[in-house]
Amino acid sequence: MVSTTSFSELGLSEQLLQAINAKGFEEPTAIQRMTIPVMLQGKANIIAQAQTGTGKTAAFGLPLIEKMDSKARGVQALILTPTRELAIQVAEEINSLKGKKDIQIIPIYGGQSIDQQFRRLKKGVHIIVGTPGRVIDHLHRKTLTLDQISHLVLDEADEMLNMGFIEDMEEIIKHANPAKRTLLFSATMPPRIKALASKYMNGYELLKVEKETLTTNLTEQIYFEVKAAEKFEALCRIIDIEEEFYSLIFCRTKVDVDALASRLQARSYDVAAIHGDVSQSQREKTLDAFRKRRTNILVATDVAARGIDVSNLTHVINYSLPQDPEAYVHRIGRTGRAGNSGTAITFITPSEYKRLMFIQRFAKTAIKKSKVPGIGDVIKAKKEKIVAELTASLEKTINPEYYNLAKKLLETRAPTEIVAAALNYCFESELNPENYGAIQEQDSPGQQLDSQGKARLFVALGKKDGMNPRKLVDFIMKKIAIPNRQIIDIQIMDTFSFITVPFNRAEEIIASFRGNSKQQKPLITRARSSR
C-alpha cells in the first residue's frame, strides 16, 4: 500500500518533527497515519488492530508526548504491556522520540527493585510503562495513584489476555481516572477483548490496518542471527564470499543508511546511498551508476527505494528488519525478477527472532536460518578472485615500466619469491585472518571471544566526548603500540563505544588504561556478553 502522507501532515509539533527527523524516520506506517491524528484531535477512546512490528509504539507514543504537561509532577499516562522486555522497549522508544521536551518516562516491572522504582516515582514521572503485576503492587502499596491520568494504553492486549492478565487489567482500569482516554492496541480481537472494551471504554473508534495479499517468488530466503555489534562484519563476509555481488541493502532510517554506507566505503566497497534527504538530481546520478554497475551496492530506505527498477540483482539484504510483513515482501521482491534467481538475506538479533517468525507466517513464505561464512571460507574466496583477476590482467596491455621493474627484481630473487612478496604487499590485510572481526555463534556460551582469538572491549567514551572511529583509534595508539588495523569493528555510541582487538592484546590495552577513569569507572574493560 503506497501512501504519500508524511509525518508533517499528521498534526505533530515542529519539536517532535525534529525528533522524528533526527531518528531518521521518513514516512509514517499505516497504523501511525490512522492513530496519530485521532489521538491529537479527538477525545474518543480508540481500539487499534494492527500486528506486532507495525510501528504501534510511535503511533501512541508521539501523541502522548504532545499531550503531556511537562510542568506537572503527577503521572499523566500509563501504558500496560504483557512482559518486562516489552515495557523496557516501549519506554526506550518513547524516550528516543521526545526530543527536547522535558518529560520523564520510566518502565516498572517485576524483577527490578520496587523501592528503586518508588524513589523514581517520588521524583515525578509523566509516563509509566509497566507490567500489570508490578503496577498492581504499587497501587496496593499506594506508591502509585492513577486518579489523575489522562491516558491509559493497553498494548498487546490480546497477549495480556493469553497470559491471564484480564483480571489485572480490569483492576487497574477501576483504579484509573474515569475521565481518562483509553487506547487499546491488539493484533487480534477475541471476544473477551471486545467485552473489556464494551464494559470499560464507553464507546470507541475502531482503527484497523487491512492486511495486503502477499506473494513471494524468490529462489532463496535466508536469515542470519547475529549480535547487533557483529552485523557489519557478517555483511562484509557475505559480500566478500560471493563471486558476483550486486545488491540493494535496506535500512529502516536515513541515519542508518548514511552510517552503513560510510562504513562500507571505509572498507573500499563500491557503495552509494539514497534516502529522503538526497536531492532528485543526486538520486538520478546514483541510480544511473547503480544500473550500469559502476556501483554494485546501494544502501537505501524503503521510501527512497520506490521506483527503482533493476531486474538482475543477485541479493536483497535486510540489514535492518523491516517494520511489517508488507515492507519485507516489497523489499525482497526486487530480486528473483525476469526469470533470474536471487537471494534475500535478513539480519536479525536474538531479540528480533519472534518478529521475523511473525513476518514468515504472515507472508506465507519460508525463511531458512543459515550460518555466517567462516574466515577461512572468505579468505579462500578472496584467493580465487585474486587468481582470476591476475590471470585476466595478463590478457591486457601492461605498461612497459612494470616489465623493466620485474626484470630488475628477477636479477636478485627467484620468481616464486618475488610473486609471493608482491602478493603479500598487495593483499596482506585481506588474507590475514587476524584482521577479521569476531562473530560469535548465538547458540554458544556467552564469552566475547571467538575461535579466531578476538576480544570485544567496552570504552567509556563516546560521541559526547568528541570521539569518532579515527579519534578513538588514535587515542588508544597513544597509550599502547598496536597497529591500527588490529582495532576493528568500532562502534561509537553517545556516551560509550565498543572495539574488537586480538585476544592477546586485550589485557595489555586494559592494563594500559587502568590508571584512567571516568566517573570512578575504568575507561576500558571487557564488554559483557549480551546473553
**pLDDT tens, residue order, the chain (531 aa):** 344 578 989 999 999 999 888 877 878 888 999 999 999 987 789 999 887 667 889 999 999 999 999 888 889 999 999 888 889 889 998 998 998 899 999 999 988 889 999 999 999 999 999 999 999 999 999 999 999 999 999 998 888 887 788 889 999 999 999 999 999 998 888 888 888 888 888 888 999 887 655 555 556 899 999 988 889 999 999 999 988 899 999 998 889 999 999 999 988 899 999 987 888 788 888 988 998 899 999 999 887 776 676 768 899 999 999 877 778 887 887 775 555 668 999 999 888 888 898 888 877 888 899 998 888 888 888 888 888 888 888 888 888 888 888 898 898 889 898 888 888 888 877 787 776 766 765 543 333 444 346 788 889 898 888 988 888 988 998 888 888 778 887 888 888 888 888 877 888 898 888 776 665 678 898 876 433
Could you give the dihedral angle defined by the CA atoms of residues 23, 26, 30 and 32, in that order, rounded to the nearest 10 degrees?
40
Q: What are phi and psi of 247, to 5 degrees?
A: -140, 150
Write the DSSP symbol of residue 511.
H
- Name the grid cell of 293: 554497475
The DSSP element (H or E) to which 343 belongs, if any, is: strand 343-348
Per-residue pLDDT, 518? 63
Q: Which residue has the cell 521510501?
A: 303
The answer as to CATH 3.40.50.300 being correct for domain 220-373 is yes
Cα–Cα distance for residue pair 235/240, rounded to 1 Å: 9
Hey, what amino acid is at 445?
P
Residue 158, SS3? helix
Per-residue pLDDT, 446? 36
Per-residue pLDDT, 48? 92
Q: Tally the C-alpha atoms within 13 A of residue 489's C-alpha that lie toward its C-beta.
A: 27
Q: Do domains 7-208 and 220-373 have the same CATH topology?
A: yes
Question: What is the pTM (predicted TM-score) of this model?
Answer: 0.58
Contact, 421 vs 218, CB < 8 A? no
Cα–Cα distance for residue pair 87/101, rounded to 1 Å: 21
Domain residue limits, the chain:
7-208, 220-373, 389-435, 454-526
C-alpha torsion sign, points 108, 321, 325, 21: positive
Cα–Cα distance for residue pair 62/59, rounded to 1 Å: 6
Cα–Cα distance for residue pair 69/77, rounded to 1 Å: 11
Contact, 50 vs 79, CB < 8 A? no
Q: Which residue has the cell 569507572?
A: 521
- Minimal CA–CA distance to 376: which of 237, 230, 502, 223? 237
Per-residue pLDDT, 319? 96
Question: What residue ranges in 76-176 does DSSP mark as E strands?
Answer: 77-80, 105-108, 127-130, 151-154
Write the DSSP symbol of residue 100.
T
Per-residue pLDDT, 1? 39
Per-residue pLDDT, 140? 94
Q: Which residue has the cell 540483482?
A: 313
Contact, 258 vs 273, CB < 8 A? yes
Q: Decide which of 3.40.50.970, 3.30.70.330, 3.30.420.40, 3.40.640.10 is the CATH code for 454-526.
A: 3.30.70.330
Cα–Cα distance for residue pair 385/373, rounded to 1 Å: 16
- Name the grid cell of 502: 586480538
Identify the bridge partners of residue 207 per DSSP, sorted by sequence position: 48
Per-residue pLDDT, 214? 54
In angstroms, how far apart are the furthest CA atoms of the chain? 95
For residue 106, what are the CA distances in angstroms to 118, 197, 345, 421? 11, 26, 36, 60
Residue 15, SS3? helix
Q: What are phi and psi of 448, to 5 degrees?
A: -80, 55
Q: Tally the C-alpha atoms within 13 A of residue 305's C-alpha that lie toward its C-beta.
A: 27
Q: Decide which of 3.40.50.1370, 3.90.1150.10, 3.40.228.10, 3.40.50.300 is the CATH code for 7-208.
A: 3.40.50.300
Contacts by residues 521-526 (CB-CB < 8 Å, ≥ 24 positions apart): 521/460, 522/460, 523/459, 523/460, 523/461, 524/457, 524/458, 524/459, 524/460, 525/457, 525/458, 525/460, 526/448, 526/455, 526/456, 526/457, 526/458
Angular region, 497: left φ>0, alpha ψ -120 to 50, beta rest = beta
- Name the grid cell of 23: 531518528
Cα–Cα distance for residue pair 301/253, rounded to 1 Å: 6
